[in-house]
Structure 1
Amino acid sequence: MDTPDVFTITAHDAATLESWVRSTSLQQGQITRAKIILALSEGMPVMDVAAAQRVSRKTVHKWKKRFIESGPEGLLDQARPGRPSVIDAEIVNRVLTLTTSRIPHESTHWSVSLMAKYAGVTTWQVRQIWNAADLKPHRLRTFKISNDPQFAEKVVDIVGLYMDPPDNALVLCVDEKTQIQALDRTQPGLPLAPGRIGSRTHDYKRNGTAALFAAFNILTGEVIGRVEKRSRSKEFLAFLKQVERQTPKDKEL
């Protein structure tokens, strides 16, 4: 058993280390080192300190020595000597090729550990390569490409109509969104108040679905909307009549 020797620290250093222990933003390693020094200063044997912090006695002696030499500053992470690690170009190419051209059969997308396994590299190397190439396999953005052979020509015509409409013309930009869930909360929410955030109940009740028709006035930015229970030609024509009634004849929509 280790015989505890006399080890004292100043009140200022003790206050610094105690603030580290209470911190919620410092790295866990730095907090553990502070706990080691504080425990030693209270007379706890090295073996007990090592067991309490789940480290080896060698580690306890290491940080005790660092603290004696440099105080709290000695417990901070230090830059490692030597040149920074360089990842071989072949490794970079292998990881990038796998990331962009293949999907692992056991998952829907690449993870750091999976890529490290397939590419035969470390997880650190995978992270460095992905960060440098701004690759985020866990994120996905959907898109749709039209199979209309005249798609490009139609886009040109529509954009040209918006940019240079005919004189005294009524230009309509209309769209619909169907299957909107009509949800309502089971209880009224509590409003925002000084010292209290607004809140609402987690529970809701379903009131079926609705269809939203909307027209955008390109000239004024006004939006004309209409909500219907169904989305058929009947409802769509009724909406167009509403748009016509609400739109002045001398303005474009």
Structure 2
Amino acid sequence: MNPPEAAIVLCVDEKTQVQALDRTQPIRPMVPGVPLRQTTEYKRNGISNLYAALNVASGKVITKMTVAHRAIEFIEFLEIIDKNVPKELGVHVVLDNYAAHKTESVRMWLLAHPRFQFHFTPTYSSWMNQVERWFSALTTKYLQRSVHHSVTELNEGITEWAEAWNKNPKPFIWTKSADEIFASMQKYLGPSVSEQTSD
């Protein structure tokens, strides 16, 4: 929320096992007075994995589609980020505690790229990572309304959607301060939350 000067903040995560789905009946488009209609039955045509890095300040995203989501694919995505961010900027990465983000090979990569700093979100706090909000937009505005006959078609569709997003990106703005969020959580979780966050 308050990055240092000459630095960029990227929220990074994977959307795993995105399915290429083909409906068994054609989707019926919206007409006046009638919502879009689609059958609940579908055919699976394979899966893909999406890596995304959301620039908190601009709302732009960097994406990569992969066949797996291991440390090796994560490092490949970090390399893409490294090439896309100007060399004079520090890179602060907000990400979750997934095991592939903490392997020895990832640690070695970070040592070789000292401008990168990782900031891990607490366990069960995916809502703190703003790229999750972008994944939600992708799902509701594209994936739920689309048909893909192959993984290649799925990958191309997601890539095109991300490119269209980047032509008119919109950053997600927190509407409450961290103190307000923790105060709200305290109502449900008890005094232990404020004690933990004061450390």
Shorter chain as normaliser: what TM range?
0.3 to 0.5
The structure with the greater share of residues assigned to helix is 1
> Which structure has more RCO (C-alpha within 8 Å, separation ≥ 6)?
2
The structure with the greater share of residues assigned to strand is 2
Q: Give TM-score, length-normalised by structure 1.
A: 0.31
